[in-house]
Structure 1
Amino acid sequence: MNNKFLIYSLVGLLSSGAIGGIVLSNSKQAQSLPASGNAQQSRSVRVDRHFIEMMIPHHQDAIVMADLALSRGRRPEIKKIAASIKQAQTREITEMRTWYKQWFGTEVPNHSMTDMGMMGDHHNQGQKKGSGMGTGSGSGMGQGMGQGMMDMKMDIDALKTAKDFDKEFVRQMIPHHQMAVKMAQMASGRATHSEIRTLAESIIKSQNAEIAKMQGWQQAWH
């Protein structure tokens, strides 16, 4: 998996609104925008929405990996961090689903990564036609994200059959956490709702701490 490319794809999507086609697709969503019509506030609302839509499936992948670690991990520290990841991220998913329903009047969409890629492509094509833009940072971003998530699924499959599960778990979970931290850093300074900002700061703090632990284990085990 090209983790660096996937990180930039997700962060770029969060900041540029490359899936804007699903952000303002109905009247309930439009009503969620600030009454003042301030453009900056509107962008902040989109950040809140994008953050939840991206972070939930990201958390779900971490939980899949944590479940594997609880059953296949050999070292007690792996089982301990897996249990912590599962507990924290399950709770955060529940919180984000509740907020999304309250703020946007609907459930979090269950879009596949392929669907998101197609939406991003359609949005970028619209930019090309409407403004002459198409070679900027958002162009092709959705497609790259979809490919990145397919690569992540392949890595999870590899984790299931890894000869040294613990080492492979750490090798994959570090960049996975780093991706979440990048997304949270974007949201912490741009989100409208204080709940998102607080959650983002919590993710940054907790997952950076877990990254440091796992990097220490990598050095010790090698």
Structure 2
Amino acid sequence: MNTRKLATAGAAVLAVAVGLAIVLGGGGDGAEVDDIDGAFIVEMVAHHEMAVEMAEMAQAQAGHPQIQRLAAEIIAAQQGEIEELESIHERLYEEPAGEVDFASLPISEGDAGMNMDMEMLMSAEPFDREFIDMMIPHHRGAIRMARLELDQGSDPEARQLAKGIIAAQSREIVEMNQWRMQWYGEPSPAGSIPPEDG
């Protein structure tokens, strides 16, 4: 993992941390828009960007072919979803993502799975175990964010995308825990699919 990629990952963390604490979308000059669809789009783009960075690291460092395969799937799926999210934003707001200020989703940085230590992952031994233990809470956060969109959002395309995120990342959490049990003797301390009320 080179310094450029690590810096990019750090920037993604910072962007979301700021957004969760105050307002995400940062580039606009207008008033803050209280719109769950917009907040979901902007925050999920940043969330996916972090997952892609973690997966790119796994492609370079993972020892198990299963992790290599999962990393490739995460990159392909989430880069595609980023493009879809940005397209929805353009349709709804007639501005690129980042040009409208949205109130943030009602979720903490920790519950969103955005408090990842990328430097620790880069140097972890064994890498595959640490990747699982970081990607599972990151996926749990995406599921919580997608559930907020389903509960409070109104755009049909954004809601459909949220359903797909929940299905795909729930499946991957189960898969990662199965591997962790097989390779390291116990499931991840990060847990499994978050309950509907958590």
Which of 98, 101, 126 lines up with 1:109 in the alignment?
98
Question: How high is the TM-score relative to the length of structure 2?
Answer: 0.71
> Which residue number corresponds to residue 85 of structure 2?
96
Letter in 2 for 1:26: G
Matches within 5 A, 1:167-206: 167-206=129-168
Comparing both structures, which one devotes a greater share of its residues to helix? 1
Assess, with a 3 A threshold, how the Cα gap between structure 1 residues 179 and 149 changes in structure 2: closer, same or farther: closer
> Which residue number corresponds to residue 124 of structure 1?
none
What is the deviation of 1:105? 1.7
Deviations 1:114-139 (A, max 9, x none): xx9xx98xxxxxxxxxxxxxxxxx7x
Assess, with a 3 A threshold, how the Cα gap between structure 1 residues 189 and 216 changes in structure 2: closer, same or farther: same
> Per the alignment, in what secondary structure is the counterpart of residue 44 of structure 2?
helix
* Cα contact 1:185–1:200 (8 A) shared by 2: yes
Deviations 1:49-95 (A, max 9, x none): 00011101100000000001111111010001101100000000011
Which of 157, 162, 165 lines up with 2:124 in the alignment?
162
* Cα contact 1:63–1:90 (8 A) shared by 2: yes
Letter in 1 for 2:167: K
> Which residue number corresponds to residue 214 of structure 1?
176
Which of 48, 63, 69 lines up with 1:74 in the alignment?
63
What is the deviation of 1:21? 9.5
Question: How high is the TM-score relative to the length of structure 1?
Answer: 0.64
Identity %: 32
RCO higher in structure (CA 8 A, sep ≥6): 1
In the alignment, the residues of structure 1 paired with residue 128 and residue 25 of structure 2 have an alpha-carbon distance, to the nearest angstrom, of 40
* Cα contact 1:189–1:197 (8 A) shared by 2: no
Higher Cα radius of gyration: 1
Residue ranges of structure 1 left out of the alignment (5+ in a row): 1-8, 31-42, 121-137
Letter in 2 for 1:108: A
RMSD of aligned alpha carbons: 3.5
What is the deviation of 1:26? 3.2
Assess, with a 3 A threshold, how the Cα gap between structure 1 residues 165 and 20 changes in structure 2: closer, same or farther: closer
Letter in 1 for 2:82: I
> Which residue number corresponds to residue 48 of structure 2?
59
